[in-house]
Chains A and B, each alone.
Chain A
């Protein structure tokens, strides 16, 4: 299986960005963005979909930290 070409990469990134914009509009409600999700999954290799999903989670988490501040989980830190 050869690596995606530049055109394929760009098509994948565009589909990802459209999907993410949809999520932004519907505050992460994945149901409303089904069609774009399917398009994203079809244009990107599976490994990339997983990679970008993780990236999205991380970006959302970072945003949360920046706006809400850090709340350590209650059960953390057994001494």
Chain B
């Protein structure tokens, strides 16, 4: 047995039973109580438990962050108060008409070079995605003009035709339209007119989500894709709890 290390060949003194373990091949450790497969199983269970706990706390934290954000958005009380506008069919519409519905709202204008059509395409696509799930209530897409001087009922009707079939356009008296923009803190500023009297209205580009109680719940900027918006709206619908008494 020339392959054995030298120390194994040395004569080991006979030790009292208590210290016999110290000179064993495992160098002092007690003999294994469980076979390897059992030890793996124990580690897996403990690991699983630790992982599960971590996931639970993380999802709880995410939920708390979401709820806090919702409380802050409600405290902001964006879009409070009524509005008196006219839809693209010429019918009067007030905020109350939309209670009970989930609304995705976009402010824009029909002479918009690119941003508004892109955002309305995206909004339409998000609504389409949500329409595909029959378990969810139908979301109402809404367009409100920031250019009431040019965007009369006819102009808005021509415009909304190109997007989702349920897209409703709202316009009205210039002062009333401006009130709604202010209520939603939408910045809108008409640029200089050229010889044709044409001008561009610089404005906030945001899609707002309103809950069935008429309150502002969330918002989506240019960078949010239709899929992300649909996912967020779905989550809001599924976790909705009316806050107003």
B124 interfacial by beta-carbon distance below 8 Å: no
CB neighbours (8 Å) of B195 from chain A are: 46
CB neighbours (8 Å) of B191 from chain A are: 47
Number of A-B contacts (CB under 8 A): 41
Q: Contact string, A51-78, partner B, CB cutoff 8 A, digits 1/0?
A: 1100000000000000000000000000
Cα(A51)–Cα(B162), bound, Å? 23
Q: Contact string, B147-163, partner A, CB cutoff 8 A, digits 1/0?
A: 00010000100110010
Is the CB–CB distance between A47 and B158 below 8 Å? no
Is the CB–CB distance between B155 and A2 below 8 Å? yes
CB neighbours (8 Å) of B159 from chain A are: 3
Is the CB–CB distance between B117 and A47 below 8 Å? no
Is the CB–CB distance between B162 and A47 below 8 Å? no
CB neighbours (8 Å) of B199 from chain A are: 47
CB neighbours (8 Å) of A45 from chain B are: 111, 113, 196, 198
**Chain B binding surface, main DSSP class:** loop
CB neighbours (8 Å) of A52 from chain B are: 113-114
B171 interfacial by beta-carbon distance below 8 Å: no
The number of chain B residues with a CB under 8 A from chain A is 18
Is the CB–CB distance between A1 and B198 below 8 Å? yes
CB distance from B115 to the nearest CB of A (A): 10
B197 interfacial by beta-carbon distance below 8 Å: yes
Is the CB–CB distance between A47 and B200 below 8 Å? yes
Given A6-B117, A9-B117, A47 contacting B194 (CB threshold 8 A): yes
The number of chain A residues with a CB under 8 A from chain B is 15
A contacts, CB < 8 Å to B: 1-6, 9, 13, 44-48, 51-52
Contact of A5 among B113, B158, B196 (CB under 8 A): B158
Is the CB–CB distance between B155 and A47 below 8 Å? no
Write the chain B residue with the least CB distance to A4: B111
21 contacts between A and B (CB under 8 A): A1-B196, A1-B198, A3-B110, A3-B155, A3-B158, A3-B159, A4-B111, A5-B158, A6-B117, A9-B117, A13-B114, A45-B111, A45-B113, A46-B194, A46-B198, A47-B111, A47-B191, A47-B199, A47-B200, A48-B113, A51-B200
| Most chain B beta carbons < 10 A, residue from A2, A3, A5, A51 | A3
Cα(A34)–Cα(B199), bound, Å? 25
Write the chain A residue with the least CB distance to B111: A3
Write the chain A residue with the least CB distance to B191: A47
3 cross-chain pairs, A with B, having the tightest CB-CB distances, nearest first: A3-B110, A6-B162, A48-B113
Write the chain B residue with the least CB distance to A10: B117
Write the chain A residue with the least CB distance to B114: A13
CB neighbours (8 Å) of A47 from chain B are: 111, 113, 191, 194, 198-200
CB neighbours (8 Å) of A4 from chain B are: 111
CB neighbours (8 Å) of A48 from chain B are: 113, 200
